[in-house]
Amino acid sequence: MPRLRATQRHSIRFTLNDTPVQGEAEPRMLLTDFLRHVLGATGTHVGCEHGVCGACTVQIDGTPARACLTLAVQAQGCHIRTVEGLAPAPGRLSVLQEAFRRHHALQCGFCTAGILMSLDAFLRAHPNADEAAVRDLLSGHLCRCTGYAPIVAAALDAAARLRDTAHA
Ligand code: FES
Ligand code: FES
């Protein structure tokens, strides 16, 4: 039986924000590096590289996941969504992004892409989320600038607006 070598490159295909993409990666390449360095999708940030800070969070088949703990080869055939895929159209922001802007929920912005990807999925699954639930979700993300209060306010504002839209 042939042995796989760690340096052997594999062709990887998946959809990135609804667009089919393809590239080659060694088996040990992380999804963060594949997104940023092979595909040029640099919206996903890399902080701790060991699953703590949440900066690298993307959605894999709709579920938030740490891209720094995911191998690129594991994305084969999946639907990957990154912060670049949040805006509904060029020049427009999603309800959640707009709420972040309204509440000044970012300063340096390093944590923002990951938080947006977590909150986007969370608010879809939990449209009635309260402050405690939002704070619990944010416990998986490190932000060194904002003190979290404006992020919580933005998340609750977005949740209310999304509920209004759903009931309109
Ligand atoms: S870079 Fe992935 S959790 Fe920090
Ligand atoms: S806005 Fe700077 S780390 Fe969150």
- Phi/psi at 71 (5° precision): -80, 145
Cβ–Cβ < 8 Å for 28, 93: no
Euclidean distance between CA atoms 96 and 162, whole angstroms: 9
pLDDT classification of 138: cutoffs 50, 70, 90? very high
Ligand 1 pocket test: pick from 44, 45, 68, 144 the residue with the most ligand atoms within 8 Å of its Cβ.
Answer: 68
Euclidean distance between CA atoms 61 and 63, whole angstroms: 6
Whole-number pLDDT of residue 167: 78
Statement: the pTM of the whole predicted model exceeds 0.85: yes
Q: Domains for the chain: give ranges and CATH numbers.
A: 10-85 (3.10.20.30), 95-167 (1.10.150.120)
Ligand 1 pocket test: pick from 53, 70, 117, 118 the residue with the most ligand atoms within 8 Å of its Cβ.
Answer: 53
Summarize the confidence of residues 68-88 as an average pLDDT: 98
5 pLDDT above the threshold of 80: no
Q: Is the CB of 110 under 6 A from ligand 2?
A: yes
4 pLDDT above the threshold of 60: no
Nearest CA to ligand 1 atom 3: 51
From ligand 1's centre to the CA of 131, what distance in Å? 24
